[in-house]
Structure 1
Amino acid sequence: MAEPTNSGVPTLNVVSMAEDVEDLKAELAALRIEVDSLAHDAAAPTAAHPGGTDEDQLPPETEDGWRYPPFIFLLEGEELHAELRLLAEWVEGVLVPGCLGEPSADSRWCHLWIEHWDAVGALHALWLAWQELTNPAVCGYTGPSTWYRDHYRPCMAELRGPAGPFAGCTKGEHRVEHRLPGRVPSAWSAAEDGL
């Protein structure tokens, strides 16, 4: 960065240039890590998709070509069962042993959580966020902190709280409270009714 002087001869701000160069080096290193990770992820099979990058295993595309994550409420049949198995592996293998404390009257947990469909939806959303935010190539190294603060804590407060889906469950007893709401008018229900 040249700065004019009284004599008309520009001087260089070496400190500023050195800082700019270091910033560019850091950005380049981060981009290299991201590209390497993306190349590795594209070539490697995953637990969710053991066959690798087969086009059939990717979520369906919308009309504009955008792919959405396979949220569990949108799946049916074998896709639903496969996603439930993967979710159960994560909940039982990562979430329960690593994050949950002992259940209590103020912080309930049901060992039959998979029978509480509203809990399944919340846990699936939590798992999707975990998959994204624990990948340093995507989120850097603050992703887990963001997941814990923005996703885990609010989700667990709702699930394990006194009004959550496990409210009727105790250590020795399991109870699914079915609170089915009335039908809410919507564009979908109007189309189903032939309106």
Structure 2
Amino acid sequence: MEPVRVPDSRLASMQADMAKLMDLAAQHERQLDDLSAAPPTPDSPFAAYGLPGFAGLPPAPAPPEPRPILELEDEEYEDELDALSDWVDDFLMRVYGAEVTTAAPWCEQWQEHADVVAWLHALWLAYQQHKEAEAGLSGLFVWHRDFLTHAMATVRAAGGPLSACMTDPDRPAHRLLPGPRPSNRTTSAIEEPDEPGERGDHGESGELGQASG
């Protein structure tokens, strides 16, 4: 049986294809070695599933630390207030709102009461923390006992920040109660200072008066 002769042009093409396949196989082998050698890092998005991370890639950025809402400004504040409003309207008041009365007032424009916003935002942050698995099975009980009860009693107190607002669900009302005036120390600090040399002139005139006397 005579051997099969392959044309030189086709033989060169087959050799080039074989070289490409060998290079591709070598690349795959190196990738498999990297994946098997790299342990899962805490910041790897695959660590929770027991899968290794990708070597050479930067760790996933940590989520931003929560900040009190009154420390936020402009668009950042508006975005946080929108998210808080969704939680308050769709969950908090729907479940724990109870009836609006003179003993438990409410305001449909509560977002304009800075102290109420601060209270409810802190309550929301505590809820997010205590509903996580790390808080344990009693996490939400602790939230009810230590956070929800106290916050709602303060926000909806008869003499609280919403006492001048809605006390009847059929009669919506909204009024911001004026806060106390600044202390004397604050008001005196913003007053215009004495003219330069005024105290010195007074002192010198006093000394001259004593000398002449």
Q: TM-score, normalised by structure 1?
A: 0.59
Residues 40-55 of structure 1: pairs in structure 2 closer than 5 A: 54=61
Matched, 1:114 2:111: yes
1:96 pairs with one of 88, 93, 96: 93
Gaps of 5+ in 2: 1-46, 49-59, 192-213
Give the distance between the partners of 2:78 and 2:138, measured in 1 at CA: 32
Cα separation, 2, equivalents of 1:97 and 1:75: 27
Rounded to whole Å, the distance in 1 between the matches of 2:184 and 2:145 is 35
| CA distance, structure 1, for counterparts of residue 158 and residue 70 of structure 2 | 25
Tell me the TM-score normalised to structure 2 length. Answer: 0.54
Asked whether the equivalents of residues 161 and 167 of structure 1 are also in contact (C-alpha less than 8 Å), the reply is yes
The root-mean-square deviation of aligned C-alpha atoms, in Å, is: 3.3
Letter in 1 for 2:161: P
Match of 1:24 in 2: none
Equivalent position amino acid for 1:176 in 2 = R
> How far did residue 54 of structure 1 move?
4.9
Report what 2:35 is aligned to. none
Deviation at residue 114 of structure 1 after TM alignment: 1.2
> What letter matches 2:180 in structure 1?
P
Instruction: Name stretches of at least 5 consecutive residues in structure 1 with no aligned partner.
Output: 1-38, 41-52, 60-68
> For residue 128 of structure 1, what is the aligned residue in structure 2?
125
For residues 80-126 of structure 1, what are the alpha-carbon distances to aligned partners after superposition, in whole Å with 9 as ceiling and x for unaligned? 00100110011011101122112122112222211222111110111
Equivalent residue of 2:138, what SS? helix
Percent same amino acid at aligned positions?
Answer: 33
Is the alpha carbon distance of 1:71 and 1:148 closer, same or farther for their aligned partners in structure 2, counting shifts above 3 Å?
same
Output the CA distance in 2 between the equivalents of 1:131 and 1:151: 12
- The residue type equivalent to 1:127 in the other structure is W
SS at match of 1:70: coil
**Residue 58, structure 1, aligned to residue 57, structure 2:** no
For residue 165 of structure 1, what is the amino acid of its counterpart? P
Alpha-carbon deviation of 1:148?
A: 0.7
Q: Is the 8 A contact 2:108 2:172 kept in 1?
A: no
Alignment of 1:1-195 (within 5 A): 54=61, 58-59=64-65, 69-137=66-134, 139-168=135-164, 169-170=166-167, 171=169, 172-184=171-183
What SS class does the counterpart of residue 78 from structure 2 fall into? helix
- Do the aligned residues in 2 keep the contact of 1:116 with 1:176 (CA within 8 Å)? no
User: Are 1:165 and 1:176, in contact at CA under 8 Å, matched by a contact in 2?
Assistant: no
Q: Give the superposition deviation at 1:178.
A: 2.7
